[in-house]
Amino acid sequence: MFETQLKVLLLAFKIDVGKHVRHFLTLKDYAKEEILEILELGLAIKKEQKSKIPHPYLMGQTLAMIFEKSSTRTRVSFEAGMYQLGGHALFLSNRDIHLGRGEPVKDTARVISSMCDMVMIRTYAQSMLEEFAAHSKVPVINGLTDSYHPVQLLTDYMTMMEHGKDQNAVVAYIGDGNNMTHSWLMLASKLGFELRIATPVGYECDPAIVADAMEFARISGAKITITNDPKEAVQGATVVTTDTWISMGQEEEKAQRILDFKGYIVDEALMKRADSEAIFLHCLPAYRDVEVSETVLEGGQSLIFEEAENRLHAQKGLMVWLDKHR
């Protein structure tokens, strides 16, 4: 019964198969319906995996994974996910490939996409990812840039769905206006839920990304509030989330940031202002008693490890969806 449902889903998605490759560089490029299709697929495949039903939808395919920054979850989830889908993943650190020695992005893109079926890239500038995608014959997935972390948001929303928190969602993001915050802006404004962001002065989101989100929000009906007051943001929220104050590449700013973010820790006192059944999410890695208290991180409202596992399931849905849309 379940297998049949999944086949129907896959068939339905084929109707919209475009003539050119779809990349997954930012949620900005995705419609609400498409985001939900990816998540539905991910959840269906998760059920198959949990029931030990083989699901080799990407049999014989190769995913190239280029990492210019460190990773635990992204590497393991894409590599394990591709294997479970019947394919193979290549881990390519920029220390080991010629990209790190100055081979042009456009040459690397043309070479890798002539041999592999999909590419995942974790890098600094969003423009590098865009340049790679422009020269790639196969789908390119953003595995985190300085601007966005869209696969993490698929995962976070999947976790919200599984806990019924996608209904009447009021998400409070407390902390740095970074790649995670920008991705929350895109997700909320596309899907139409309420998002409140509280950052310290001087650490606000990129105004161009906020402007885009406000434009999408006008269409979707999302309510987006941006403040410098964490207490105001978290009041009655059904989902509370944060991220590190020191993202990869910002290590030298650590001491200053710790000073500037004083008062932005998500601790029990702050959580008490949220809805009594609010959940806590964090993309991880988390720094205990820095952006979040140990008690909240390890407490009953925290879903951080379910969220981490969902990286695997959401991204399997994404890879199968991208394969169907080439």
Least Å from the CB of residue 114 to ligand CP: 27
Taking CB under 6 A as the rule, does residue 181 contact ligand CP? no
Q: How many residues does the chain have?
A: 326
Q: Indicate the residue among 61 and 152 with the shorter CB distance to ligand NVA.
A: 152
267 is catalytic: no
Selected range binding ligand CP among 45-53, 67-75, 211-219, 255-263, rule: CB under 6 A: 67-75
For residues 281-318, one letter each, b for 16 or more C-beta atoms within 10 angstroms of the residue's C-beta and e for the rest, the string is bbbbebeeebbbbeebbeeebbbbeebbbbbbbbbbbb
- Contacts with ligand NVA by CB under 6 A lie at 144, 149, 178-180, 243-244, 247-248, 283
Taking CB under 6 A as the rule, does residue 284 contact ligand CP? yes
Taking CB under 6 A as the rule, does residue 74 contact ligand CP? yes
Least Å from the CB of residue 179 to ligand NVA: 5
Sheet hosting strand 118-122, strand order edge to edge = 88-93, 62-67, 118-122, 140-142
Least Å from the CB of residue 70 to ligand CP: 6
How many CB atoms are located within 10 Å of the residue 59 CB? 8
Measured CA distances, 115 to 25, 67, 140, 212 (Å): 21, 18, 14, 35
194 touches, from ligand CP, ligand NVA, none (C-beta below 5 to 8 Å by class): none
133 touches, from ligand NVA, ligand CP, none (C-beta below 5 to 8 Å by class): none
For residues 6-31, one letter each, b for 16 or more C-beta atoms within 10 angstroms of the residue's C-beta and e for the rest, the string is beebbeebeeeeeeebbbbbbbbebe
Q: Indicate the residue among 90 and 284 with the shorter CB distance to ligand CP.
A: 284
Q: Quote the CA–CA distance of 74 and 156 in Å, as a whole number.
A: 14
Check: CB of residue 27 under 8 Å from CB of residue 190: yes
How many CB atoms are located within 10 Å of the residue 229 CB? 12
206 is catalytic: no
Site string for ligand CP, 145-174 (x = CB under 6 A): -------x----------------------
Amino acid at 63: L
72 touches, from ligand CP, ligand NVA, none (C-beta below 5 to 8 Å by class): ligand CP
User: Of 11, 14, 29, 72, which lies in the binding site for ligand CP, with binding defined by CB under 6 A?
Assistant: 72
Check: CB of residue 105 under 8 Å from CB of residue 99: yes
Name the token pair of 72.
């635990």
Q: Indicate the residue among 175 and 317 with the shorter CB distance to ligand NVA.
A: 175
Q: Indicate the residue among 39 and 224 with the shorter CB distance to ligand CP.
A: 39
User: Of 197, 217, 233, 283, which lies in the binding site for ligand CP, with binding defined by CB under 6 A?
Assistant: 283
Residue in 117, 156, 176, 243 annotated catalytic: 243
**What would the DSSP string read from start to end of 29-91?**
G--HHHHHHHHHHHHHHHHHHHTT----TTTT-EEEEEESS--SHHHHHHHHHHHHTT-EEEE
Least Å from the CB of residue 290 to ligand NVA: 13
Known catalytic residues? Answer: 122, 149, 152, 243, 283, 311
Residues that bind ligand CP in the complex, under the rule CB under 6 A = 71-74, 144, 152, 283-284
